[in-house]
Structure 1
Amino acid sequence: MAMVVKNNMPAKNTLNQLDKNDKALAKSLKKAASGMKINGAGDDASGYAISERMETQLRSLEQDNANAQNGSSLLKTAEGAIASTVDILKTLKEKVINAANDTNTDADRATIQKELDQAIDQIDDNASVTFNGQLLVDGSKNNEVLHPGTKTSLTNEQLAEDTGRTTDITALKDRGGQSLQILDSDTITVSYVKGGETYVFSQKVDGMMFGEIFDMQDAHGHQLQDDIKMFADTSGDKSIVGTDQYNQKVKTIDGKNAITYQAVEAGIDGQIAGLTICVTDSQGNPKRSANAALDAFTETVRAQNPSPDSALVLQVGTKANQSIKAGLTDMRAVALGLRSSDGKTLQIGTQAQANAAINVIDNALQKVLNQQTDIGSLDSRLEYTSSNLVTASENTQASASVIRDANMAQEMTTYTKNNVLVQAAQSMLAQANQSSSSVLSLLQ
């Protein structure tokens, strides 16, 4: 090799190698210190981009899980308030049954009325429950109800399918085709509650047809048809019992024909809170078999006021619109038919009023239990959603780990190798620099 002093190429080459080893050592040190084999786009451009997307997905899934858990807490708060209302209604059922018993005087019923009024006030307090400052079951978080609102539909599926307006009351049969054995000498009594007021209509059967029930009027001249009508869908399909809050037709559960009574007015103010039909013989004794079929009217469409869509939206996905909608209906006493809009509560001051109130409580309980079922099913769904999100988060984290996490044993081995190479290059650089000094021997 030529002896030169201007350009020491061995030293230059050794320096370049030292720089490479030093950079490799720095990278190894960073990987070992951070625990990640990709610390920037320069380490692995595509791997870095993929892992960053996975990190975003992971954080989103963790927030989704938090959303689901918070949503579950909200629903449990609402469910707790409704459970309290259910307990109150159980007590009220006992009270009105007690009031319907003539071992009590009207003075006793007035005392029971005070208990009933206080309990109804508590139902309104329950409906004022809040979560994070938001009222939940006062109707402000309900799904959309189209104008003009819904009408109460009360459906009887115990009468024969061919029962209609022109059917003679004495010819009425049950679902099994058995005669109700109603006579012309019997008396039919219809009572219902609307706006906290109890209306009672009585008339001797005496050749009446079923549809003529709506021509009855009470002692004050109030006609039954002012508040209730027999529902008939324009298509003639007697399995249709009314329309829901979205103006969709509602049918009987079994799809068979049934008799449906519907409120004349839409909305809460027009709702029929409870309907009772009773047949008594000429001596005033109830005809139990006939009454069992005639009094089997259950609420198939609930009365609701028109309202915008204010249902809660629980975001539980990483993309837009991946959510669960939770509509909470009105659980106030006025919406349950226990109180009128002007504050008049259900009355049980007489035996007739207390008897009519029994079905009112039953209908109110049905509304509350329906809402409790909806909330319970939503809460159960959120639990499954949360479990699914945790699993998705684990799998996403595992995938990100494969791409980005460093194998510490491997990185420490690489670090040790690069450290040795740096030290060796430093030593060889010193040797290369010393080689130029041998030229001086020629200049002596």
Structure 2
Amino acid sequence: MSLVINHNMMAMTASRNLTSAYDSLSTSVNRLSSGLRINSSADDAAGLAIRELMRSDISALNQGVRNANDAISLIQTADGALQVVDEKLIRMKELAEQAATGTYNSDQRLIIDSEYQAMASEITRIASATDFNGIYLLNGNLSSETHSGAGLNSTGKLKVHFGPGNDSSEDYYYVQVGTSTASALGVGLGATTTAGRSISTQELAQTALDQINKAIVSKDKIRANLGALQNRLENTVTNLQIQAENLQASESRISDVDVATEMTEYTRDQILSQSAVAMLSQANSLPKMALNLIQG
């Protein structure tokens, strides 16, 4: 290469190499300081798209875990109330057994029946008052076979949504709770059949025994269904947590920086930058040699 004054090609080459090394050094600093291999779409456009989809699914799965845990709390609330209903039905059967014997007179049976009716009223009160976050659980609101979420307030059985999509076989299922009022169980004055309405006579008390047994079975079916749903939800929570963990691991492999590899690149680019700066300094001094020739 000729010794010229107008164009310093060596300096231009050193400057270009310095720019390239400095850009690579800047990228390494960005990745090491953020911990991410992908900090913008320019780093890896396809990887960025995959990562963001994974992140959205991870967030949805984590919320699904919270949704399922809320549903477990709801079921436990309903089951706790039914446990109290169970105690009332046991007391009602005890009272019916007492009134069914011939050693009590009519006045005494009326007194026994007054407690029997009080127990029935308490069952209805419990069923009407038991709620979770304003959702009434035992009064029949959740007993319908159908569900509609079209309005501001959903109707019918309760939908528990836990998956990141909208597939009925994968992402949600329903909690259906039977009506647990005294009339629905067939006991107390609100019962639609004579059996179980009252124990004011010996005959009524005897028929009430069978009806109370049916009421206990009906209540136990509701509790068994709730227990099965709770177990299912607990398994769902475990599965969702595993899915979120595996997705997080996949997202990490795509998005996170390999510190060891990146640190190697950083050291290489740092040395190249320092070398380019030194060579640029040397290249800038070359035109002085032409000046020396001119000055003689």
* Equivalent position amino acid for 1:56 in 2: S
Tell me which residue corresponds to 1:144: 145
CA distance in 1, matches of 2:105, 2:226: 41
Structure 1: unaligned runs, 5 residues or longer = 146-307
1:409-442 superposed Cα distances (whole Å, 9 cap, x missing partner): 2222221221121111111111111112222112
In structure 2, C-alpha distance between the alignment counterparts of 1:439 and 1:309, rounded to whole Å: 92
- Choose which of 409, 418, 422 in structure 1 pairs with 2:273: 422
How does 1:276-425 map onto structure 2 within 5 Å? 310-320=156-166, 321=168, 322-341=171-190, 346-425=197-276
* Structure with a larger share of its residues in strand: 1
* Counterpart Cα distance in 1 of 2:247 and 2:78: 34
SS in 1 for 2:186: coil
For residue 76 of structure 2, give the secondary structure of its aligned residue in structure 1: helix
**CA–CA distance in 1 between the matches of 2:221 and 2:191?**
26
- AA at the equivalent of 1:400: E
CA contact (8 A) 2:183 2:191 kept: no
Deviations 1:93-138 (A, max 9, x none): 1111111111222222222122212211221122120111111110
1:309 Cα deviation after fit? 6.4
User: Which amino acid in structure 2 is aligned with residue 396 of structure 1?
Assistant: L
Deviation at 1:62, TM superposition (A): 0.8
Residue 149 of structure 2 is matched in structure 1 by: none
Deviation at residue 70 of structure 1 after TM alignment: 0.8
CA contact (8 A) 1:142 1:309 kept: no
Give distance in 1, aligned partners of 2:58 and 2:228. Answer: 27
Instruction: Show the counterpart of 2:39.
Output: 39
Alignment of 1:6-405 (within 5 A): 6-127=6-127, 128-144=129-145, 310-320=156-166, 321=168, 322-341=171-190, 346-405=197-256
Instruction: Give 1:56 shift.
Output: 1.3
| TM-score relative to the length of structure 2 | 0.90
Indicate the SS of the match to 1:325: strand
Q: Which amino acid aligns with 2:263?
A: M
Structure 2: any 5+ residue segments left out of the alignment?
A: 147-153
The answer on whether the counterparts of 2:182 and 2:190 sit within 8 Å (CA) in structure 1 is no
Compared CA separation, residues 44 and 21, structure 1 to 2 (3 A): same
Which amino acid letter does the alignment assign opposite residue 331 of structure 1?
A: S
**Per-residue displacement from partner, 1:328-368 (whole Å, max 9, x unpaired)?**
11111111112355999821111111111111111111111
Tell me the distance in 2 between the aligned counterparts of 1:408 and 1:8.
39
Counterpart secondary structure, 2:38: coil
Cα offset for 1:34? 1.1
1:300 aligned residue: none
Moved beyond 6 Å, runs of 4+:
342-345
What's the CA shift for 1:46? Answer: 1.7
Equivalences, count: 282
Indicate if the aligned counterparts of 1:144 and 1:309 stay in contact, CA closer than 8 A: no
Cα distance in 2, alignment partners of residues 329 and 432 from structure 1: 89
* Letter matched to residue 330 of structure 1: T
Distance in 1 separating the partners of 2:230 and 2:21 = 59
Q: Say if 1:364 and 1:92 are closer, same or farther in 2 by CA, change over 3 A.
A: same
Please identify which structure carries the higher helix content.
2
Give, in whole Å, the separation in 2 of the partners of 1:142 and 1:5.
Answer: 93
| C-alpha displacement of 1:375 | 0.6
SS of alignment partner, residue 329 of structure 1: coil
Distance 2:108 2:6 in 1: 122
CA distance in 2, matches of 1:379, 1:348: 37
Secondary structure at the residue paired with 1:324? strand
Q: Distance in 2 between matches of 1:111 and 1:372?
A: 32
2:143·2:156 contact (CA, 8 Å) conserved in 1? Answer: yes
Matched-pair contact (CA < 8 Å) for 1:78–1:137: yes
SS at match of 2:183: coil
1:369-399 C-alpha deviation (Å, 9 max, x unpaired):
1111111111110011111111111111111
The sequence identity of aligned pairs, in percent, is 33
